[in-house]
A = this chain, B = another copy of it.
Amino acid sequence: MNDRAGDVLEHIDAEACRRFQVAAELAGQKWTAAVLLSLARGAGRFTEVRHTVSGISDRMLSARLRDLERQGLVVRQVTPSVPVQIRYELSESGWQLIRALAPLVDWGQRWMQDDPAADAR
């Protein structure tokens, strides 16, 4: 612990904290991270994502994709062929979110204790 966190804290006022809260809840919601990562790695079709995110149900995937689309993190493109093709991809903000999340992953590697309760999830 060499430096204080003052340089960090000065950016974090109440409003920032609120926004952070929402962002963290979004990212922390079950399956969201996995779906985001799946898309980042190239999955585009509903079925592709479902297949790369093992264990997710149609219902949850559908819900998460809708949430992500609503927040503008994911773009849903419909190609009017027969049958219609749906493709999801990360938006700019989606990519940026993944980048913003990277330090958190590093933190996890370094500091996180194994959580017994995690097995239940």
Contact = CB atoms under 8 A, between A and B. Distances in A.
A10 to B, nearest CB: 10
B20 A101 contact: yes
A95 B5 contact: yes
Q: How large is the interface on A (under 10, 10 to 19, 20 to 34, 35 or more residues)?
A: 35 or more
**How many of these chains are in the complex?**
2
**Chain A interface, >50% SS class:** helix
A27 B25 CA distance: 8
A26 to B, nearest CB: 7
A104 B11 contact: no
Interface in A72-121: 72, 92-93, 95-113, 115, 118, 121
Interface in A10-31: 11-12, 16-30
